[in-house]
């Protein structure tokens, strides 16, 4: 159980750093590598959901919400995705999509746990 909590916390921290860097326009990757990095983060999100395997992994989305709230409260008008406030429909929808990706990983884990005994028994 402790390992799952640690994985969820690590994912929340990484998500928070990623969100803060995106809002502050910090170029973590060159422009040519921006989309592959986003796809890689989406794959990491599914893997995190799979590794934790519980629905409460959705609580790690708070890690992405906290930087948005902080920037909003300090009056920062970040670039975001559409030049709007940090807490904008585009930012919230991104967190929702990440939540769906986390739940996809949890669903794959549930399917894995369901099929594993049946495959082992057939061998």
Q: What 3 state SS string does 71-109 have?
A: HHHCCCCCCCCCCCCCCCHHHHHHHHHHHHHHHHHHHHH
- What is the rounded distance in angstroms from the CA atom of residue 91 to the CA atom of residue 69? 11
Domain tally, the chain: 1
- Predicted model pTM: 0.82
- What is the rounded distance in angstroms from the CA atom of residue 85 to the CA atom of residue 108? 35
Domain that holds residue 14: 2-122
Query: Is the pLDDT confidence value at 80 over 60?
Result: no
Mean pLDDT of the chain, nearest integer: 84
- What is the rounded distance in angstroms from the CA atom of residue 57 to the CA atom of residue 37? 22
**Least-confidence region, from 25-29, 80-84, 100-104:** 80-84
Radius of gyration of the chain (CA): 17
């Amino acid at each position: 159980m402790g390992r799952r909590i640690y994985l969820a916390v690590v994912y929340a921290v990484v998500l928070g750093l990623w969100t803060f860097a995106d809002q502050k326009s910090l170029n973590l990757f060159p422009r040519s590598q921006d989309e592959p990095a986003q796809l890689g983060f989406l794959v990491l999100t599914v893997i995190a959901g799979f590794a934790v395997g519980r629905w409460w992994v959705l609580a790690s989305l708070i890690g992405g919400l906290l930087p948005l709230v902080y920037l909003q409260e300090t009056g920062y008008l970040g670039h975001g995705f559409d030049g709007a406030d940090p807490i904008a429909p585009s930012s919230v929808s991104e967190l929702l999509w990440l939540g769906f990706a986390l739940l996809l990983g949890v669903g794959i884990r549930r399917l894995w746990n369901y099929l594993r005994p049946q495959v082992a028994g057939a061998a």
